Amino acid sequence: MTKKLTILLFICTLVLGGNAQDSITIEECQRLAISQSSSNVQKELNEQLLGVKLNDVSSHYYPTLQIDGGIGYFSQVTELPSVCPGYVEKPHDIYNVSLNLQQVVFDGLQATYGRKRERLLNKNEINKLDISINKMKENIINIYLNLLIIDKQIKILSKVENTFQEKSDQLKALLKAGVVYANSIAQLDLEGLKIQQQKDALIATKESLTASLSILTGRDLSHTIFIEPAIPMVEENTQSSRTEFAIFENEKENLEYQRKMHLSKSLPKLSFFAVGGYGNPTYNLLCTKADWFYAVGLKFNIPLIDWAKTKGVSDIITLQTSILESQQSDFTKANQIAIQEKLNEVKRIGNLLVLDEQIIQKYQEIRQTASTQLLNGTITVIDYIKQQNDEVQSVIAKEVHNIQLLKAKYELLALKGKL
């Protein structure tokens, strides 16, 4: 008996588990889509690329070590009067091999400004990827909310379909009593078929949208329940923190570092050197045999400033900065206008929802009266269907406005850079 009960419980668990449906939120869809996107991978690669570029910018600070050597013949060599006692004529052939070390001590701040500029450029690349991710979020929101409204429409139509079926059954009972005509029942059944046709079209659209969302998220959502999100809270002002503003600021700062890097070329450069080797001649030009030699020291150079070029570069950067500021100003105005328009849209939809409630209430009262009148035979089936359809349209309009409000609030968050 215990064994049979265990098997029965196991089968029930499988059946219930097989029929259970997962649910998902709009935030989960966004997270899944982002994890599947190439932008997420590119952000990680850009961080690695930054490390390589920073190392490359500072690479001239690493010491250089090389081996130099040569064999040659001089047509003339240093000569002394032959009367000098002990004088031996120097050979005309030369040969030597040496180890040369050089170490930059000060590069005129080229590496400092170069590293800061590379960080800015990398930050801009990350910001551009963030913009791409935000667009993906907006796409997910659009698909998700369209799925919600289709779900609501299907449920509303199913409810109306059941209502028509109930009325049809009631009229069939009255038909047997000879109170109504068969034509009335046929009209209700026909309306039921039309509703089924609408549902089939909506289901096909839902399947298409669900397939798109499944591809974006990398998860099969064909049997998933989509949870309706709460309406997000958004401040009613035109303030914005869009990523584009950070890009504009970084671009202007980047231009300023370009100016500093150019000016740094005129600063003194200082480096350490060391040379050691073996050959002939050595640093002693009078020595006639091969020997060891070495030299250590500091060397510097101070570039003579090309004032014309420096001024030209500075003027170019100043003009480019002005262009950027003009573009930023235009973007700010366009963004504020878009935010204000979206705020107006949110307010307008809110007013429509208030009226929707009142309209639905009135249609429900009319439909309830029409339902009684139909059974009493005081109105035709056509009149009843019209009243029912008017109520359905008002309910669908309310649900559409609810989703439109959600969509407008999310779009407002996107315009403000808070999505």
Q: Which of 5-14, 197-206, 235-244, 338-347 has the lowest mean pLDDT?
A: 5-14
Chain segment 354-411, per-residue pLDDT in tens: 999 999 999 988 888 888 888 777 887 888 888 888 888 899 999 999 999 999 999 9
pLDDT on residue 102: 92
Is the confidence at residue 140, as pLDDT, over 90?
Answer: yes
Q: pLDDT above 90 covers what percent of the chain?
A: 47
Question: What band does 305 get if pLDDT is binned at 50, 70 and 90?
Answer: low
| pTM score of the predicted model | 0.78
Instruction: Name the average pLDDT for the chain.
Output: 85
Selected residue with higher pLDDT from 277 and 83: 277
The Cα 324–Cα 375 span in angstroms is 74
Averaged pLDDT, 133-155: 93
Instruction: Give the number of other Cβ atoms within 10 Å of residue 276's Cβ.
Output: 13
Is the confidence at residue 19, as pLDDT, over 80?
Answer: no
Is the confidence at residue 353, as pLDDT, over 90?
Answer: yes
pLDDT on residue 17: 43
pLDDT on residue 245: 94
Chain segment 186-245, per-residue pLDDT in tens: 888 888 898 899 999 999 999 999 999 999 999 999 999 999 999 888 888 888 999 999
Q: pLDDT above 70 covers what percent of the chain?
A: 89
| HEC secondary structure over the chain | CHHHHHHHHHHHHHHHHHHCCEEECHHHHHHHHHHHCHHHHHHHHHHHHHHHHHHHHCHHHCCEEEEEEEEEECCCCCCCCCCCCCCCCCCCEEEEEEEEEEEEEECCCHHHHHHHHHHHHHHHHHHHHHHHHHHHHHHHHHHHHHHHHHHHHHHHHHHHHHHHHHHHHHHHHHHHCCCCCHHHHHHHHHHHHHHHHHHHHHHHHHHHHHHHHHHHHCCCCCCEEECCCCCCCCCCCCCCCCHHHHHHHHHHHHHHHHHHHHHHCCCCEEEEEEEEEEEECCCCCCCCCCEEEEEEEEEEECCCCCHHHHHHHHHHHHHHHHHHHHHHHHHHHHHHHHHHHHHHHHHHHHHHHHHHHHHHHHHHHHHHHHHHHHHHCCCCHHHHHHHHHHHHHHHHHHHHHHHHHHHHHHHHHHHCCCC
Chain segment 245-295, per-residue pLDDT in tens: 999 999 999 999 988 888 888 888 899 999 999 998 888 877 778 889 999
Q: Which of 301-315, 322-336, 405-419 has the lowest mean pLDDT?
A: 301-315
pLDDT on residue 6: 44
Question: What band does 181 get if pLDDT is binned at 50, 70 and 90?
Answer: low
pLDDT on residue 24: 94
The Cα 374–Cα 394 span in angstroms is 21
pLDDT on residue 348: 95
Asked whether 357 and 333 are in contact (CB, 8 A), the reply is no
Selected residue with higher pLDDT from 11 and 188: 188
